[in-house]
Amino acid sequence: MATATAATWAARTAALLLLPLVLALALAPRASGAAAAGGGDCHFPAIFNFGDSNSDTGGLSSLFGAAPAPNGRTFFGRPAGRYCDGRLVIDFIAESLGIPYLSAYLNSIGSNFTQGANFATAGSSIRRQNTSLFLSGFSPISLDVQSWEFEQFINRSEYVYNNKGGIYRELLPRAEYFSQALYTFDIGQNDITSSYFVNNTTAEVEATIPDLMERLTSVMQSVYARGGRYFWIHNTGPLGCLPYALLHRPDLAAPVDGAGCSVTYNKVAQHFNLRLKETVASLRKAHPDAAFTYVDVYTAKYKLISEAKKLGFDDPLLTCCGHGGRYNFDLNIGCGGKKQVNGTWMMGNSCEDPSKRVSWDGVHFTEAANKFVFDQIVAGALSDPPVPLKRACQSKGR
C-alpha cells in the first residue's frame, strides 16, 4: 500500500514538472516566416512589394488618376489599379500564400495593410528620373522613394497600432510581421527603356547598370536593417518583345530573333539580369542569416512568347488593348484612351478574348500571360537557389 502511494505521488510530481513545458508548447504561436520541421512551408504572414507597373496594384492610380477601363475587365470587372485585364504575378503570389491582394501604400481609401503593403508604382525605376511623369511617362516614385515609404510605414503603423488601437489593429500589421514577411522586388525594366528612350546608345545604357546594382543593394540592405529576412527578387523580362519598346526606338527593332523580338534590347536585359544575379549572390554572402531568392522571370516570359501558339495564344506581339498598326499599338492612344484624328475619334479598345493574347496593352502582359509566368516560377524551377515560393525562407546562406 505504501509502495503504491509513493508511486502515485511520484507520477503526480512528474506531471507537475512537465506542465509548464506542455503549456508553453500549446500556447506558443505557429512559427511564421520560418520553415517547419522537416523542411515544410514557411507560413509568411505578410508580403511587402517594391517595383513598377509589373506589380503595381494601385499606386500610380492613386497619385495621377485611375487606370481606365477596360483595365480590370477579366477578373475584377472594373478598373482595379492594375495595368492589365486582371491579375498580376504579385496577385498570384499572394493567392498562393493565402494572403489578400496587396493594397497600394498610396491608396488612402479602403486599404487594408494587415498582411502587407505594395509600394510599387507604374513607371517606377531604380534610379530617379531626371524628368516628369507628364513629359516621359516615368514615375517620380523611384525605388529609394519606395524604401522611404516603407520606413515611414513601419514607424507610423507601429505607433498607431500600439497607441491608437481600435480599428487600426484590424488594418495594420503586427510588429513581428516585418521580420517574418516575404519581401518581393520586380524592378529595372524602366531603367533600361528610359535610358534608350532619350536616345542613349547600348554602351551608354549598359554603363548605368553598375550604379543600378549599387542602388538596389542599398535599398535591400535598408530593408534588411529594418528586419527583413526573406527576399524574392525577379529579374527583368525580354524587353525586346514589347511593342512599346520597339516603336519608341525603331532603330533597335532589328535585327530580330526567331520570335520577332529585338536582339539588342534583349541582350541588354540579359546583361542586366546577369549583374542582378551577381548582386543577389553578394547580398546572400553578406547576410547569411537572410534568404535571397533570385527568380528568372525572363526565361518564363520568353518561353511564353517564343512558344505562344503552341501554348494556345495568338501572335505574342499583337496587343489586345490598343489601336492600329502591326502590333495594334499606338504611342499616342493607350489602352482605354482616345484621340481625334481628322474629325474621327480613335479608341484604344480591348480585343474580344484577352485570354488568347500575351500582350495586354503593348507594355504589360494579360492576366492569362501573368498566370503562365507565375506557374513557371512558383515551384522554384527558375529560382536560384531552386526553392519553391512557399519555402523561400529555407534558402538562408545558400
- The residues annotated as belonging to the active site are 53, 361, 364
Q: Which residues contact 17 (CB under 8 A, 6 or more apart)?
A: none
The secondary structure of 270-290 as a DSSP string is HHHHHHHHHHHHHHHHH-TTS
The secondary structure of 197-212 as a DSSP string is HTT--HHHHHHTHHHH
Coil, helix or strand at residue 143: helix
CB atoms within 10 A of CB 60: 25
The residue to which cell 520577332 is assigned: 260
Positive or negative, the Cα torsion across 257, 233, 205, 124? positive
CB 372 within 8 A of CB 304: yes
Calculate the CA 324 to chain-centre distance: 30
CA separation for the pair 55, 48 (Å, rounded): 11
Cell of 122: 507604374
CA separation for the pair 253, 233 (Å, rounded): 28
Q: In the chain, what is the straight-line distance between the N-terminal and C-terminal CA atoms, in Å?
A: 62
CA separation for the pair 395, 35 (Å, rounded): 10
CA separation for the pair 291, 294 (Å, rounded): 10
Among candidate residues 296, 185, 300, the one with its CA nearest the CA of residue 232:
185
